[in-house]
Amino acid sequence: MNKLKIANNFSRCAHLYDKYADIQNKAAFELIGSLKNNNFSRILELGCGTGNYTLMLRDRFKDAGIRALDISDEMISVAQNKLKHKDIEFIVADAEKIIPGHHFDLITSNACFQWLNDLKQTLPRYAASLSRGGALCFSIFGPRTFCELNTVLESVLETSRVDSVNFCNQDDLKAMLKANFKSVKINESCYRESFASLKSLLEKIKYSGVRGNGLDKRTYFSRGLLEKLQKTYLDKFQQIRAIYQVFFCYGEKR
């Protein structure tokens, strides 16, 4: 993943993110609902975006100290303005570069970890930053996300694909978590959406930040190409639809 490009994509669309982030919000509600412990007092949120999940954390853990970070300064700016009276510490930082030393009861993240370059090497740092009995709880998009779009792109363009095909699968996630945590749990949910046109789907991907690095920069979506892609989409799936595969992962510190 090109972190600079991802950060720029999120920053460029930060002011529109909330309009298009309904899937991320659904995942956030499911994620916070999976937390059974109500006694977390020191919380670190990674990839906080515009602060929607951060607000849920504050409402759930009213007395906890919450530190929230994101790689995009524009996302942090939106979050700070939205939660300016909620006593949240916001930081612009890369979630993969946190240095163990501060000990948290909970490290959590919604729909962010698919953008990490090396989750396997980063998980031990998270474990080291947890207090005894602390927990890591996160949601992450899986490789079936936008599988219909990938099928159409490969059919028409042969090589162009969206980044989701490279996201971690459930078996890999479970192995990585078991290497660093005990009481590991992973649940899967699939959200589905339908769109009036392919253009609407592409706008959703663009403005909600889930495009990652984006398609091959040599690909130019002319009107003719969009019409051909949409026809292929409808021929294969009878509608413009998209699936979002989300894994909800939990692990306690050993």
Instruction: Give mean pLDDT, residues 18-26.
Output: 94
Which residue, among 245, 130, 127, has the nearest Cα to 188 in the 3D structure?
245
Helices (H) and strands (E) in the chain, counts: 10, 7
Give every CB contact of residue 93 below 8 A, 6+ residues apart in sequence.
69, 70, 71
Within a domain: residue 153?
A: no
Residue 189 has pLDDT above 70, yes or no: yes
Residue 193 has a pLDDT of 96
- For the chain, the average pLDDT equals 91
**Position 180, amino acid:** N
Residue 208 has a pLDDT of 82
pLDDT digits 0-9 by tens, 26-55: 999 999 999 988 889 999 999 999 999 999
60 burial (CB, 10 Å; 0-12 / 13-18 / 19+) is middle
Within a domain: residue 62?
A: yes
Q: How confident is the model at residue 212 (pLDDT cuts 50, 70, 90)?
A: low
pLDDT digits 0-9 by tens, 50-98: 999 999 999 999 999 999 999 999 999 999 999 999 999 999 999 999 8
Give every CB contact of residue 220 below 8 A, 6+ residues apart in sequence.
none
Within a domain: residue 21?
A: yes
Q: How confident is the model at residue 15 (pLDDT cuts 50, 70, 90)?
A: confident
Rounded to an integer, what is the distance from CA 119 to the centroid of its chain? Answer: 13
CA–CA dist 61, 59 (Å, integer): 6
Within a domain: residue 230?
A: no
- For residue 101, CA distances in Å to 2, 81, 86, 125, 130 come to 27, 29, 25, 10, 9
Residue 219 has pLDDT above 70, yes or no: no
Within a domain: residue 18?
A: yes
Domain that holds residue 105: 3-144+165-191+246-253
Within a domain: residue 158?
A: no
Within a domain: residue 107?
A: yes
CA atoms within 13 A of residue 14's CA, in its CB half-sphere: 24
Residue 156 has pLDDT above 90, yes or no: yes
Domains of the chain: total:
1
Q: DSSP 3-state assignment of 145?
A: coil
Can you give the CATH number for the domain in which 103 is found? 3.40.50.150
| Dihedral, CA of residue 91, residue 109, residue 18 and residue 238, to nearest 10 | 150
Within a domain: residue 202?
A: no
Most distant CA atoms of the chain, gap in Å? 58
pTM: 0.93
Tokens of 42: 């020191």
